[in-house]
């Protein structure tokens, strides 16, 4: 019997006839993990003379539009996918030529740490500065050369189950009006069925979230925790851009105090461009936590502002990052499915790196799936080879060395730094063998205790959210139901207003949630078309009444060259 998950929130029409498509392996998401999985699986099937169809679905209008990363790539994963990756033309911005850590202090001062003073996890020699957009576009071309079908503009809206076995996904209906009526343009989504479905949706994937909840795949002791990164690409005067190309500057300190976990980055790209960004942990306790405001304050610190002088912004974006590490990873597979990349928490938060781990997770899943297909057995037992391969891999070894890293900072920066020092001497153990995690949504303090302030904007280097959203290129069909579902609006205007002051108006980096500034609020206005798909609201809302679901395929940001 085919069912979709009743617990999943979606706007799919019920009782309509749907086209059905059958493939052997369906990959949901054309990011680095999904495409690496598709490419390696196809090569393995071809080598074993197994005729198998592989389909990759991507919700963005074009592959790469929803991809956002710093990004400095450790080449290890790419090297395994394509030993000749450079000769093949994998686009890189620059090899890293120098790295340092700038500690931003009060009063506009800063102090630069270099060489052995930089924490080992932030050493980047041998790594490459990339545009993940460009790399993913290149991976898509490589996949298509092998005969893999990649369909952009198809958003997977629901998981299809036979009991608890995953048998595919249903794509998002198109042509439903704001009020939920079928328009003249109505087109029902397809049921795409597969022997194996690979969830490669990226951070806080909406289908992976429902799957993890339904099958109890997550860790109760260490729920996944996240940070929100806000990024801009700048064009700089030629001389300064040339001087910064290949340089990796990380920052610590301002504007965060001792309670917040996070920091900034400045990476020198090619073509006179600079990647800058700031990331903050969503376990920050302040009810007015505003990642965009912190980013603006960070840009205004003279230690950062000096790099932007005479330049102009080209692009803006925001995205969450899974910080929880090894202990927060869900079970990686089950009957008929695997979870890869950010959706499964493949990220080393101490190194601020995930691309190499995402690629590796795709490779490991591909090996397990190829073996399962050859045996005609895609049960949880057969696919558990994926976990076995991961446990024996360098990816596990790397994540094991930082298994307690992020959790150590829950007690504040000072305690965290002390524990991390002990972790470095004890192979990642630290002061406690397994530090438990906390749900980000449960860390928020009452609004009366808020200390964070808002920045002043100068409309030159310091833009407000709406101006920045323009630079994200985000567009959605306006006449469709909101893809931000508030499941209990009463809580918003009663308890949330009283206790937390409606934090959604602060933490969303795209000004989607608008609350009246005068009088007692009677409800939130949701500007869904601004949404940049970062998922912060789905994670950080203290009552967990905001559900992010996929909008019509093709909607969302256009992170070209990000």
Q: In 3-state terms, what secondary structure has residue 359? A: helix
With respect to ligand SF4, which residue has the nearer C-beta, 316 or 548?
Answer: 548
Does position 536 bind ligand SF4 by CB under 6 A?
Answer: yes
Question: CB under 6 A: which stretch of 55-63, 117-125, 368-376, 533-541 binds ligand SF4?
Answer: 533-541
Of these, 383, 508, 524, 562, which contacts ligand SF4 (CB under 6 A)?
Answer: 508
Residue from 167, 173, 221, 176 nearest 195 by CA: 167
Token pair in block for residue 350: 């101490």
Of these, 537, 549, 550, 562, which contacts ligand SF4 (CB under 6 A)?
Answer: 537
CB of 485 to ligand SF4, least distance (A): 11
Of these, 512, 524, 549, 562, which contacts ligand SF4 (CB under 6 A)?
Answer: 512
State the DSSP code for 106: G
With respect to ligand SF4, which residue has the nearer C-beta, 259 or 514?
Answer: 514
CB of 509 to ligand SF4, least distance (A): 6
> Which residues are bridge partners to 262 per DSSP?
280
Token pair in block for residue 274: 């600079």
CB of 503 to ligand SF4, least distance (A): 11
With respect to ligand SF4, which residue has the nearer C-beta, 52 or 535?
Answer: 535
Does position 548 bind ligand SF4 by CB under 6 A?
Answer: yes
> Could you tell me the CA-to-CA distances from 241 to 234, 235, 274, 313, 423 in Å, in that order?
10, 8, 7, 14, 37
Does position 155 bind ligand SF4 by CB under 6 A?
Answer: no
Token pair in block for residue 367: 């090996």
Interface pattern 399-438 for ligand SF4 (x via CB under 6 A):
----------------------------------------
CB of 176 to ligand SF4, least distance (A): 19
CB of 225 to ligand SF4, least distance (A): 16
Neighbours of 242 (CB within 10 A): 12
Strands 94-95 and 98-104: unpaired
Does position 128 bind ligand SF4 by CB under 6 A?
Answer: no
Rounded Cα distance between 34 and 32, Å, is 6
Q: In 3-state terms, what secondary structure has residue 186? A: strand
Question: CB under 6 A: which stretch of 137-145, 159-167, 239-247, 509-517 binds ligand SF4?
Answer: 509-517
CB distance 75 to 127 below 8 Å: yes
Longest dimension (CA), the chain: 69
Question: CB under 6 A: which stretch of 247-255, 267-275, 419-427, 503-511 binds ligand SF4?
Answer: 503-511
Q: In 3-state terms, what secondary structure has residue 97? A: coil
With respect to ligand SF4, which residue has the nearer C-beta, 177 or 482?
Answer: 482
Question: CB under 6 A: which stretch of 7-15, 250-258, 439-447, 506-514 binds ligand SF4?
Answer: 506-514
3-state secondary structure 400-452: HCCCCCHHHHHHCHHHHHHHHHHHHHCCCCCCCCCCCCCCHHHCCCCHHHCCC
Task: State the residue for tokens 């912004």.
Answer: 313
Task: State the residue for tokens 């019997």.
Answer: 1
Question: CB under 6 A: which stretch of 137-145, 246-254, 422-430, 505-513 binds ligand SF4?
Answer: 505-513
Does position 230 bind ligand SF4 by CB under 6 A?
Answer: no
CB of 511 to ligand SF4, least distance (A): 8
With respect to ligand SF4, which residue has the nearer C-beta, 358 or 510?
Answer: 510
H or E element: which one contains 59? none
Q: Count residues contacting ligand SF4 (CB under 6 A)?
A: 13
CB distance 38 to 29 below 8 Å: no
Rounded Cα distance between 59 and 157, Å, is 10
How far the first Cα of the chain sits from its last, in Å, is 43
CB of 29 to ligand SF4, least distance (A): 16
CB of 227 to ligand SF4, least distance (A): 13
Question: What are the DSSP calls for 298-335, one per residue?
Answer: HHHSHHHHHHHTT-EEEEEEEEEEE---GGGPPP-EET
With respect to ligand SF4, which residue has the nearer C-beta, 203 or 297?
Answer: 203
Question: CB under 6 A: which stretch of 21-29, 112-120, 232-240, 502-510 binds ligand SF4?
Answer: 502-510
Rounded Cα distance between 424 and 236, Å, is 38
Of these, 193, 299, 356, 535, which contacts ligand SF4 (CB under 6 A)?
Answer: 535
State the DSSP code for 377: -
Segment 434 to 493, residues that bind ligand SF4, using CB under 6 A: 484
For helices 355-374 and 32-47, give the axis angle rounded to 10 degrees: 30
Does position 161 bind ligand SF4 by CB under 6 A?
Answer: no
With respect to ligand SF4, which residue has the nearer C-beta, 150 or 526?
Answer: 526
CB of 469 to ligand SF4, least distance (A): 8
With respect to ligand SF4, which residue has the nearer C-beta, 455 or 509?
Answer: 509
Q: In 3-state terms, what secondary structure has residue 25? A: strand
CB of 472 to ligand SF4, least distance (A): 9
Rounded Cα distance between 508 and 196, Å, is 35
Rounded Cα distance between 215 and 224, Å, is 16
Does position 534 bind ligand SF4 by CB under 6 A?
Answer: yes
Binding site for ligand SF4 (CB under 6 A): 484, 508-510, 512, 531-537, 548
């Amino acid at each position: 019997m085919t069912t979709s998950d009743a617990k999943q929130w979606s706007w799919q029409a019920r009782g309509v006839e749907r086209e059905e498509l059958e493939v052997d392996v369906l990959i949901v998401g054309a990011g680095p993990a999904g495409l690496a999985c598709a490419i390696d699986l196809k090569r393995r099937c071809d080598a074993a003379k197994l005729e198998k169809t592989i389909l990759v679905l991507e919700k963005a209008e074009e592959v790469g539009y929803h991809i956002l990363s710093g990004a400095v790539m450790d080449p290890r994963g790419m090297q395994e996918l394509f030993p000749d990756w450079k000769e093949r033309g994998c686009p890189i911005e620059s090899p890293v030529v120098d790295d340092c850590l700038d500690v931003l202090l009060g009063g506009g001062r800063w102090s630069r740490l270099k060489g052995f003073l930089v924490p080992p996890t932030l050493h980047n020699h041998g790594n490459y500065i990339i545009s993940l957009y460009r790399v993913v576009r290149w991976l898509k071309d490589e996949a298509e050369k092998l005969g893999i079908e990649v369909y952009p503009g198809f958003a997977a809206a629901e998981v299809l189950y036979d009991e608890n076995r995953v048998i595919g996904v249903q794509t998002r209906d198109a042509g439903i009006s704001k009020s939920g009526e079928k328009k003249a343009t109505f087109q029902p989504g397809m049921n795409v069925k597969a022997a194996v479905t690979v969830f490669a949706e990226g951070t806080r994937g909406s289908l992976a979230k429902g799957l993890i909840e339904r099958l109890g795949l997550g860790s109760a002791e260490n729920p996944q925790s996240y940070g929100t990164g806000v990024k801009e690409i700048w064009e700089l005067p030629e001389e300064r851009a040339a001087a910064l190309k290949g340089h990796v500057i990380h920052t610590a300190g301002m504007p965060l105090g001792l309670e917040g976990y996070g920091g900034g980055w400045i990476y020198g790209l090619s073509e006179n461009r600079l990647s800058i960004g700031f990331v903050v942990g969503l376990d920050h306790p302040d009810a007015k936590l505003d990642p965009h405001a912190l980013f603006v304050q960070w840009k205004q610190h003279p230690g950062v502002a000096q790099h932007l002088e005479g330049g102009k912004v080209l692009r803006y974006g925001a995205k969450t990052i899974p910080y929880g590490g090894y202990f927060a990873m869900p079970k990686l597979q089950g009957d008929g499915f695997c979870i890869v990349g950010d959706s499964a928490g493949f990220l080393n938060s101490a190194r601020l790196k995930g691309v190499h781990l995402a690629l590796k997770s795709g490779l490991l899943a591909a090996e397990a799936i190829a073996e399962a297909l050859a045996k005609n057995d895609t049960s949880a037992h057969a696919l558990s080879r994926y976990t076995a391969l991961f446990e024996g891999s360098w990816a596990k070894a790397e994540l094991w060395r930082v298994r307690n890293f992020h959790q150590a900072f829950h007690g504040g920066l000072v305690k965290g730094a002390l524990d991390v020092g002990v972790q470095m001497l004890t192979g990642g153990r630290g002061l406690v063998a397994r530090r438990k995690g906390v749900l980000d949504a449960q860390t928020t303090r009452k609004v009366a205790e808020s200390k964070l302030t808002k920045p002043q904007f100068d409309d030159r280097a310091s833009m407000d959210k709406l101006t920045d959203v323009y630079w994200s290129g985000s567009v959605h069909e306006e006449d469709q139901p909101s893809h931000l579902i508030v499941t209990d609006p009463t809580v918003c205007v009663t308890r949330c207003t009283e206790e937390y002051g409606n934090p959604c108006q602060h933490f969303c980096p795209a000004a989607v949630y608008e609350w009246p500034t005068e009088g007692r609020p009677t409800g939130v206005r949701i500007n869904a078309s601004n949404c940049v798909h970062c998922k912060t609201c789905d994670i950080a809302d203290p009552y967990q009444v905001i559900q992010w679901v996929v909008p019509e395929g093709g909607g969302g940001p256009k992170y070209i060259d990000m």
